[in-house]
């Protein structure tokens, strides 16, 4: 079985130019939304800890649940909750956009921009509606 | 990339040849899509019941959570969402953590962490249903 060994490490350190990275690109909507998809996804992954805390608080009884509720109703708690609600709606809508792309549709510039604007503004409206429906 | 500073003129394909298949193929990519599709209806179900989720009255919340439909949907949601999150965070780690040891440590924490949190959630939902 051929494996890389010392005998084929005879070239000097390869310093070839790398492909252009973030800092040389002009900011565009499609790029910002793509980055936002990853950022919101990571934020929601962190939210898994909060969901676990919430369910364990319910298991631990009325007092623990009330303690969770009082944390959730602080200013920081509310900011984090609204952040998660918005991240959820954005990742949800943009995720649908990605699934459509996976089928080979909406890949042209016009559709990518139209769906991008729809997803971004849709997520603001959607998260506002959910926040309202939740009774805040 | 682990190999970008390697002193070799062998192509990446040449180095990989003969080492056998990783037997993984597109599994990671595909499962991310499968869990995403599972999460579409499950998410809509819980967004529809957002008032019950935001319920601050303990008894009312436990009563709602104890409904079999809600409990089953909640368990499915936890499995699909935590799995989806684990796959996503794995890609982020592979993209940004370059040192091999640190990368493997992060990947382990990711995998074990989401598995642990997921089981804690599933257990909690079952406990609320059967013991409260």
Any idea which of A3-7, A76-80, B20-24, B117-121 has the lowest mean pLDDT? A3-7
Between positions 36 and 65 of B, the ones with CB within 8 A of A are 36-37, 39-40, 43, 47, 50-51, 53-54, 56, 58-59, 61-62, 65
The alpha carbon torsion through A47, A133, B64, A96 (nearest 10 deg) reads -50
Task: State the pLDDT confidence band at A7, using cuts at 50, 70 and 90.
Answer: very low
Burial class (CB in 10 A: 0-12, 13-18, 19+), A45: buried
The answer to whether the CB atoms of A44 and B10 lie below 8 A apart is no
Q: What is the pLDDT of residue A14?
A: 65
Any idea which of A4-13, A99-108, B38-47, B102-111 has the lowest mean pLDDT? A4-13
Q: Is B29 on the interface with A (CB under 8 A)?
A: no
* ipTM, two decimals: 0.84
> Cβ distance A64 to A57 under 8 Å?
yes
Task: Tell me how far apart the alpha carbons of residues A68 and B118 are, in angstroms, rounded to a whole number.
Answer: 19
Task: Tell me how far apart the alpha carbons of residues B110 and B101 are, in angstroms, rounded to a whole number.
Answer: 14
With pLDDT > 90 as the criterion, what percentage of chain A qualifies?
A: 79
Burial class (CB in 10 A: 0-12, 13-18, 19+), A57: buried
Q: Is A92 on the interface with B (CB under 8 A)?
A: yes
Query: B37-60 pLDDT, tens per residue?
Result: 999 999 999 999 999 999 889 999
* Chain B partners within 8 Å of A99 (Cβ): 33, 36-37
> Cβ distance B43 to A92 under 8 Å?
yes
Nearest chain B Cα distance for residue A19, angstroms: 13
Q: What is the pLDDT of residue B49?
A: 94
* Chain A partners within 8 Å of B96 (Cβ): none
Q: What is the pLDDT of residue B45?
A: 97
Q: What is the pLDDT of residue B1?
A: 47
């Amino acid at each position: 079985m051929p494996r890389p060994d010392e005998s084929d490490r005879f070239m000097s350190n390869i310093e070839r130019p790398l492909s252009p990275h973030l800092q040389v690109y002009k900011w565009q909507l499609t790029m910002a939304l793509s980055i936002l998809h990853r950022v919101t996804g990571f934020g929601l992954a962190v939210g898994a800890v909060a969901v676990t805390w919430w369910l364990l608080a319910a298991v631990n009884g009325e007092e623990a649940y009330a303690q969770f509720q009082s944390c959730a109703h602080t200013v920081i708690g509310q900011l984090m909750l609204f952040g998660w609600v918005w991240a959820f709606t954005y990742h949800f809508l943009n995720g649908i956009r990605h699934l459509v792309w996976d089928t080979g549709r909406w890949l042209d510039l016009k559709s990518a921009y139209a769906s991008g604007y729809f997803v971004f503004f849709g997520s603001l409206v959607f998260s506002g509606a959910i926040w309202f429906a939740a009774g805040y | 990339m682990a190999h970008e500073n390697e002193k070799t003129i062998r192509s990446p394909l040449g180095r990989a040849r003969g080492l056998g298949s990783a037997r993984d193929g597109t599994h990671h990519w595909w499962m991310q899509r499968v869990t995403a599709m599972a999460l579409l209806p499950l998410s809509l179900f819980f967004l529809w019941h957002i008032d019950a989720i935001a319920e601050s009255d303990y008894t009312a919340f436990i009563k709602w959570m104890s409904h079999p439909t809600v409990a089953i949907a909640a368990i499915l949601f936890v499995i699909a969402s935590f799995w989806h999150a684990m796959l996503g965070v794995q890609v982020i780690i592979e993209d940004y953590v370059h040192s091999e040891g640190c990368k493997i440590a992060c990947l382990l924490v990711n995998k074990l962490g989401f598995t642990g949190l997921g089981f804690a959630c599933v257990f909690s939902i079952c406990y609320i249903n059967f013991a409260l």
